[in-house]
Amino acid sequence: MAYSSLDAFIKAAEAVDEVQHVEGADLELDVGCLTELAAERNGPMLVFDKFAGYPDGFRVAANANRTIRRFALAMGLPLDLHPLELLRLWRDKRTSAVPLSATVVKDGPVLENMMQGNDVDIEKFPTPRWHTGDGGRYIGTQDMVIVRDPEQSWVNMGCYRGMIQGRDRVSFWINPQKHGRIIAQKYWRAGKAAPVAVVFGCEPVTWMTASMSPPFGISEYELAGAYRGAPVDVVELPLTGLPVPAEAELVIEGEIPPESEETAIEGPFGEWPGYYTHQGPEAVVRIKRIYYRDNPIIAGAPPLRPIGWSNFTNYVHLWEHLERSGITDVTGVWGFNNGLLTVVALRQRYAGHAKQALITAAGFRHGDMKTYYVTVDEDIDPTHLDEVLWAMCTRVDPATAVDVIRDAWTADLDPRVSPAKREAGDLTVGRMLINACRPFSWRDQFAKTNVFSAEERNKVQTKWRDLLEHLGKKN
């Protein structure tokens, strides 16, 4: 089922008890801290309203897609499946999805209100300080920066963090390899500013797709249409012609001047690994117009602890990469701390099979900052940290089953890179490969586990259902 708007998604989430409304929170501390406290509890999404100094109805929605359950809800997948089952369904959906171009419509709720000229004021919208040490208010944490490639004419969307720099300026931190920057640079090289639109709040699938990275030249709009099962309705903005979702909440339209002409100091910002690492001069959007629907909802997906991110796309990519590389019998791929620790479960077929999977996983393109790679046998649930730790603690002889690789690439968000290495542009750290599978050559003699079989567990669970419900849920 395709949601037309963020509000429609909130209503669907309410129906399955996944929303908590909060009134009267302050933007300086309450919103950010409550968002983190809710995430720690794997809690519902939070919809904040009634901020002092802002019109009632100007809302902030945080953690909309943070849990596996809400990911499933957004993607139209069954709720409450085992995470690996969901991963498999998501993988199938991605593989079979047929790209659908966006549909251009003449009008939409996003055009209900407009500011332009001297009236432009992005500070009129409630924007939290997500963490106390942040250098400013970040309106862009769950945004979509939209630019058109001047040579090939396709439209790219990416989620890049955006900090308010005044009434008519928002700065964005866009990494060098990101398509949004590559496209902006094409305009800058021609001495022009890049026309841009930025969406702060829309239905979840389009946003999640914007935060994925299809190959350069493929518009995220088409993939969003595929995953929604219906094209995204867009309006073309008057000044730039850029398409934005007709049901978007809040949109700025303007231009990104060449960085040689204007930048602003961006950051620090509490980043997804849980640290402050990056601050510096970054590109700005000069806002020419602001469009917003009545009672707009600004979407927020700030980095939080525990680091968790329920967009499984990277695990699917890694699984596909392993299979493309000839690694057979993979039974699951998962990650903890947003994949900083990656686990591959497999059925060992030959000597060296698990090591081959480890080497292949550690060399994967999406591996920046991802340091720990673990292989486990197929009897271990890779989505269950306790089971993974059990395998690590009982099947790994550290003297023989662990390898360390030096000088592998990482990101400048990595707090382990020393100031000297940073200065030298040497953004590298090691990788640890941990083979927590039973040693292949004597796996049949490895001590048997005392784990109950699935049949035994099912039998007892059925017989003792009432008692077990009384005892509560398994962690």
Among the residue ranges 12-20, 173-181, 407-415, 422-430, the one whose residues contact ligand FMN (CB under 6 A): 173-181
Question: If binding is defined by CB under 6 A, does position 185 make contact with ligand FMN?
Answer: no
DSSP H helical ranges for 401-474: 419-423, 454-463, 465-471
Which 369-398 residues touch ligand FMN, going by CB under 6 A?
none
Q: How far apart are the first and last CA of the chain?
A: 31
CB of 257 to ligand FMN, least distance (A): 19
Question: If binding is defined by CB under 6 A, does position 212 make contact with ligand FMN?
Answer: yes
Q: Which of 77, 68, 74 is nearest to 5 (CA)?
A: 74
Name the residue nearer to ligand FMN (CB basis): 156 or 342.
Answer: 156
Q: Which residue is nearest to ligand FMN (CB)?
A: 158
20, 116, 175, 428: which one binds ligand FMN (CB under 6 A): 175
Name the residue nearer to ligand FMN (CB basis): 174 or 318.
Answer: 174
CA angle 363, 367, 373 (to 5 degrees): 75
Assess contact for 461 and 419: CB atoms under 8 A: no
CA distance 299 to 304: 15
10, 47, 87, 301: which one binds ligand FMN (CB under 6 A): 301
69, 94, 148, 178: which one binds ligand FMN (CB under 6 A): 178
Tell me the two tokens of residue 356. 């081959």
CA distance 457 to 460: 5
Assess contact for 208 and 3: CB atoms under 8 A: no
**DSSP 3-state of 145:** strand
Name the residue nearer to ligand FMN (CB basis): 309 or 348.
Answer: 309
Q: Which of 206, 140, 208 is nearest to 173 (CA)?
A: 140
CB of 440 to ligand FMN, least distance (A): 37
CB of 134 to ligand FMN, least distance (A): 13
CB of 142 to ligand FMN, least distance (A): 6
CB of 262 to ligand FMN, least distance (A): 19
Per-residue binder mask for ligand FMN (CB under 6 A), 419-458, x = binder: ----------------------------------------
Name the residue nearer to ligand FMN (CB basis): 277 or 295.
Answer: 277
CB of 450 to ligand FMN, least distance (A): 41
213, 263, 295, 356: which one binds ligand FMN (CB under 6 A): 213
Name the residue nearer to ligand FMN (CB basis): 64 or 429.
Answer: 64
108, 180, 231, 339: which one binds ligand FMN (CB under 6 A): 180
Per-residue binder mask for ligand FMN (CB under 6 A), 124-163, x = binder: -----------------x--------------x-xxxx--
Among the residue ranges 18-26, 174-182, 280-288, 445-453, the one whose residues contact ligand FMN (CB under 6 A): 174-182
**DSSP 3-state of 57:** coil
Per-residue binder mask for ligand FMN (CB under 6 A), 87-126, x = binder: ----------------------------------------
Q: In the beta sheet, which residues pair with residue 165?
A: none
Residue corresponding to tokens 């900052």: 369
Give me the numbers of helices (H) and strands (E) for the chain, helices first please: 13, 22
Among the residue ranges 88-96, 114-122, 168-176, 242-250, the one whose residues contact ligand FMN (CB under 6 A): 168-176
Cis peptide before 195 (omega within 30 of 0): no
The string of DSSP letters for 108-119 reads -GGGSEEEEGGG
Name the residue nearer to ligand FMN (CB basis): 182 or 402.
Answer: 182
CA distance 23 to 134: 23
If one counts every other C-beta atom within 10 angstroms of the C-beta of residue 273, the result is 18
Question: If binding is defined by CB under 6 A, does position 413 make contact with ligand FMN?
Answer: no
Encoded amino acid at 409, one letter: W
CB of 370 to ligand FMN, least distance (A): 14
Q: In the beta sheet, which residues pair with residue 103?
A: 233
Q: Which of 377, 365, 369, 370 is nearest to 332 (CA)?
A: 377
In Å, the largest CA–CA distance within the chain is 78
CA distance 47 to 21: 5
Q: Helices 68-75 and 6-15, interaxial angle, to 10°?
A: 120
If one counts every other C-beta atom within 10 angstroms of the C-beta of residue 276, the result is 16
Q: Helices 353-362 and 313-324, interaxial angle, to 10°?
A: 130
CB of 305 to ligand FMN, least distance (A): 14
Question: If binding is defined by CB under 6 A, does position 211 make contact with ligand FMN?
Answer: yes
Name the residue nearer to ligand FMN (CB basis): 365 or 459.
Answer: 365
Total interface residues for ligand FMN by CB under 6 A: 16
51, 173, 336, 372: which one binds ligand FMN (CB under 6 A): 173
Assess contact for 76 and 219: CB atoms under 8 A: no
Name the residue nearer to ligand FMN (CB basis): 309 or 373.
Answer: 309
- Residues near ligand FMN (CB under 6 A) are 141, 156, 158-161, 173-175, 178-180, 211-213, 301
